Amino acid sequence: MAFNGKTILITGATGNVGSAAVKEFLKQGASVIATSRSKASLDKLTAKLQEKSVPTEKLIPITVDISNDQEVSKVANQIREKTLPEIDHVISSSGPWWKFDHLYDVTFEQWNEVMSANVNPHFIMYRNFIPLLLNRPGSSYTLVTGASGLIDEIGPQKIPSGITGITQTVLYGISRVGRYETRNSAVRFNELLISYRIEDDDTYNKLVSEGKISETDKFFTSSSKFGTIFPKIAKSNVKSEVIKIGSATDLEEFEKNQA
């Protein structure tokens, strides 16, 4: 299997995107350190993987608040001390936490709450784990972002992107700096910018069965169908790029180019 002997660290591992990455890497023989704030969510993830006959012997679930620098630093130190395996690839996919109110209606407490959920974890992950990969040949770091920072309104309901869009804009800045300052290092730092809807498999299948969406819909997909992109990025030579995936066609084109 392509990732035997490799270890992948995935944040937001119980979300639609993160869980897809966990599943694909496990299927390809990797050890996966999967993080979440909730042990119950990690237990549910493990059970779902087992239901789908995905091997979980190499799954290492860790309950950690990745918006807490001290907790994340402990995980990084466990890797340095080899009580956790050395990592080869990082998928930073936590958030976003949605807040749709107009910006002028957002309190300072709400501002801090959303920044803590959507921005701080990515900075904390970067500062703790990029140093472990800078000189590691073949390593990669993928920062997952969304398109709400590029638009004013979301969906047919025309909901203002608001503070959620602002947090994504900040992540674009982290990506730009990360791509620049790692450009001459061994690690391949890339941003994966997703601008179409990814649902968990059960929800997706339900919507298809109810006729609400079609399996040929290019702008709506399941986490399993999307998850195949992560091993492709990890195995590719793509470096210091923004990988923009806005439809199933974009996904197919990227994967074809990496074959």
**Tens digit of each residue's pLDDT (9 = 90 or more) over 184-231:** 999 999 999 998 888 888 888 888 888 888 777 777 888 888 999 999
pTM confidence score: 0.93
| Complete domains list, the chain, with CATH | 7-257 (3.40.50.720)
**Pick from 183, 175, 182, 251: which is nearest to 219 by CA?**
251
pLDDT at 156 over 70: no
Rg (CA), the chain: 18
- H helix or E strand, kind and range, residue 193: strand 188-194
Q: In angstroms, rounded to a whole number, what is the distance separating the alpha carbons of residues 211 and 217? A: 11
Q: What are the tens digits of pLDDT across the range 5-47? A: 999 999 999 998 999 999 999 999 999 999 999 999 999 999 9
CA distance 95 to 194: 13
> pLDDT tier at 160 (50, 70, 90 boundaries)?
low
- Of all residues in the chain, the percent with pLDDT exceeding 70 is 95
Residue 172 token pair: 């674009």
pLDDT value of position 124: 97
